[in-house]
Amino acid sequence: MDALLDLHRQSPRTVVGLMSGTSLDGVDAALAHLEGSGPELTMEVNALVHVPYPAALQDLIRRNTEAASSSVRALTRLDARLAETYAEAVRRALAEADTSSDTLDLVGAHGQTVCHLPEPADCAGTDVRATLQLGNPSTLATRLGVPVVGDFRPADMALGGQGAPLVPYFDYVTFTDADEHRGLLNLGGIANLTVLPAGGTPDEVRAFDTGPANMVIDALADRLFDAPMDRDGQHAAAGTPDHDLLADLLEGPFFRRKPPKSTGRDDFGADYVDRLLNASQSRGLSPEDTMATATLLTAASVYQGYAQHVRPEQPIDVLIASGGGVHNDTLLRMLEDAFAPISVRTASEYGVDGDAKEALCFAVLAHETANGVPTSLPSVTGAERAAILGSLSVPES
């Protein structure tokens, strides 16, 4: 109990945030000094590192995100194995900042999502919403000797929410402007859009997943070009999108749903890529044309989500992009074309490293959990009320 009280009273805090997303490329770790809460929160970032997953680990995670190839034993072992990888990422962040573990107060670890089922469904006679992130917080806390906040999604889901997206709280405290209506677009494995009205309150924030970003593009790069990604969007740039196929894809069930909504590999994983490739081959598309179509799917679905669910009530003045997708020049150009005359800019132009944003988000969420501050936004997730997110694991002192 003393350790919990000490953590609650600690100010400022040195926190490492950890994020490993649906792209399955590895772990981002951001070390920051945080003080205050809500819009008064201040943040000084001291280190950002990326720890790639070894090929064998990446393959094991991917196989266990698919129902046909997952195993209870493998999932159980992965939960412990990923905690070891996260511990290494924290140590590297400390080394990058040239500081010792004694200075670290807290870790926020999102965990590796292997299954996200936000819609209620029957389980032994009771409807439940469920999600599973691996990378055991208690193991991680024991390895580091530092309190760890993990399992950020379930509390919101227990209150009827989607448990996602979680970044909008970070967007709200970091990017809200008094005069400019802003859209924040994160291009990870999945694309999600946050809308921040000028001078708005947390209850006025709107956000939802719009569809795939890098997830489908990366999978196609692997299958068509034996590459982990379409670097700089070069293969998409060499092709021509098939607009008829694009129109068919945009009629898919996820795109027809209204917010609140969230998604992942259950909607846009291997089965989806198989169907897209079959449709592409039946139309005689080249690999480059297929990649161009998939890349335009990301841009078009983002704009479609904006046009259908945001623009009628709250047009934005600027779209601020972050995440790995900002390095895809073709995707950014397609977004610029879709949103014109609204300008598309990057988070780095606003002083936030776009590659660090999600890891920083989980540092902030963990910090606010230690403050006792709710960070779920019912206007985003559809939950009945706001919740303090995450479970706290405290090592033996």
| CATH code: domain of residue 193 | 3.30.420.40
Q: Tokens 């917010």 map to which residue?
A: 259
Together in a domain, 160 and 183? no
* Neighbour count for residue 373 (Cβ, 10 Å): 16
Tell me if 350 is assigned to some domain: no
Are 18 and 107 within 8 A, CB to CB? Answer: yes
Alpha helices in the chain (DSSP H): 2-9, 55-63, 72-96, 137-144, 154-158, 167-175, 214-225, 234-237, 243-249, 253-256, 265-268, 270-282, 287-309, 329-339, 357-371, 378-381
Determine the structural domain holding residue 260 and report its residue range. 177-341
What pLDDT shows up at residue 2? 67
Going by C-alpha positions, the residue among 164, 158, 151, 165 that lies closest to residue 128 is 158
Tell me if 349 is assigned to some domain: no
Binned average pLDDT, 10 residues per bin, the chain of 397 residues: 75 96 90 96 96 95 92 97 98 96 96 94 97 97 97 97 95 97 96 97 96 96 96 98 98 96 91 97 98 98 98 96 96 98 96 92 98 96 97 90
Together in a domain, 365 and 337? no
What pLDDT shows up at residue 8? 78
Tell me if 347 is assigned to some domain: no
Tell me the torsion sign for CA atoms 267, 268, 270, 274. Answer: positive
Cα–Cα distance measured from residue 210 to residue 50, given in angstroms and rounded to the nearest whole number: 26
Together in a domain, 151 and 256? no
For 264, half-sphere exposure in the C-beta direction (CA atoms, 13 angstrom radius) is: 23
Q: What is the number of structural domains in the chain?
A: 2
Together in a domain, 160 and 266? no
Together in a domain, 10 and 104? yes
Going by C-alpha positions, the residue among 393, 384, 391, 377 that lies closest to residue 129 is 384
Going by C-alpha positions, the residue among 5, 274, 254 that lies closest to residue 147 is 5
Together in a domain, 8 and 151? yes
